Amino acid sequence: MIVSAAKESFPGERRVALVPASVAQLINAGWQVRIEAGAGTAAGFLDTQYTDKGAQITSRAEVFAADALVQVRSLGANPAAGQADLAQLRSGQVVVGMCDPLGQPQSVQALAEKGVTLFALELVPRISRAQSMDVLSSQANIAGYRAVLLAATTLPKMFPMMTTAAGTITPAKVLIVGAGVAGLQAIATARRLGAVVSAYDVRAAVKEQVQSLGARFVEMDLKPGGAETAGGYAKEMDEEFYRKQRELMLKVVAENDVVITTAAVPGKRAPTLVTGEMVAAMAEGSVIVDLAAERGGNCELTKPGETIVENGVTILGPTNLPSEVPFHASQMFAKNVTTFLGSLVKDGQWNFDMQDEIVRDTLVARDGNVVNPALRDLLGIPEPEKQWHDREIELE
């Protein structure tokens, strides 16, 4: 079978879905590999590096003719430019990539109507066996790291404490809101740079992880109940919870030089955690880096893709930080994708084992239909008659 990687067409996207090292791994597993000319150049991978590992450099049309197409951003995660490639896809073809299924379910439907078998990598379950396939975690690691560097270069202070002949410089105070993968990496990076770090998360269970990295865990008198889904992703809370949370956070935010927010709910608008009132309470020169900007932002004043200054506070709204570190972001993404492909093939043939929760949870379109129950609900598609018929037989 042939697997291919196309050059990403999303504006500013520098990552590539396969790197030269993954080509060798795929060929050893029995695949033929096609790479679109120039696909890896922006990430630091030249065409000659791919051919040295056994890949064939081809045109975009030949790439889209492969049995399996892997992308960083499939249609949905690339809603505008991705439309241009829709006509090149064919029935029965397997597409693997990020496609924002919960945020852009209509794009999944468009791919289903082409007969594509689509796997959405955002839906990889947070289980031990799937860690090596979890693209959200691998890319969030990079985003958390990069966010701290952005804050450090924007803040008109240095992060570490320094004792010099000219006097002692006090360390910067950094607050991380959300202690998921991105948040924990941000904590670790800010600590390595010498800042005094504190972190807040609605999940009390992460307190030990925060403290193990040398940060103080901020506790608030809130009762969040279940703050995450069974799949390990953040769960949307009600507005009354967020209102109380914002009240308690006002003082905490004002005490810090840098606030990095990471709270995002898949398929939903990001919750507003930092209000304009909180921004006004921060000292002039302070910095906010909003990692949820692509979902509308955790800061009320965030403008996605822009840097603004409000009341002397600089608010950064980056929407694609992993793409700013494209070499390692691609390397990690390619490892995730290559491992995932291995779970779909047995003896050189497709083997979609629906008893495997990784396959079942990530498969969103097949045989002309949207098959993921959550997406069917979002699109208002009734459950297939066959499934109801099967249930009736079981009941009898």
Out of 131, 211, 212, 387, the active site residue is 131
Residue 72 structure tokens: 């960083």
Alpha-carbon span 297 to 1, nearest angstrom: 42
How many other C-beta atoms lie within 10 A of the C-beta of residue 152? 21
Q: Say whether 9 sits in a helix, a strand or coil.
A: coil
Establish whether 137 is a catalytic residue. yes
Distance CA 343, CA 352 (A): 8
Label each residue of 44-78 as H, E or C.
Answer: CCCHHHHHHCCCEEECHHHHCCCCEEEEEECCCCC
> Which two three-digit tokens encode residue 183?
């948040």
- The answer to whether residue 391 is catalytic is no
Q: Catalytic: which of 100, 134, 290, 361?
A: 134
Concerning whether 131 is annotated as a catalytic residue, the answer is yes
Pairing of strands 162-164, 167-169: antiparallel
Choosing from 9, 60, 88, 126, the catalytic residue is 126
What gap in Å lies between CA 264 and CA 136, rounded to an integer? 12
What's the rounded Cα separation, in Å, for the pair 333 and 325? 12
Give the tokens for residue 39. 């696909």
Q: How many residues does the chain have?
A: 396
Q: Using an 8 Å Cβ cutoff, are 201 and 298 in contact?
A: no
The answer to whether 145 is a known catalytic residue is no
Q: How far apart are CA 322 and CA 320, in angstroms?
A: 6
- Catalytic residue, from 25, 71, 137, 330: name it: 137
Q: Which two tokens stand for residue 171?
A: 């360390």
Catalytic residue, candidates 50, 145, 200, 233: 233
Residues identified as active-site: 126, 131, 134, 137, 233
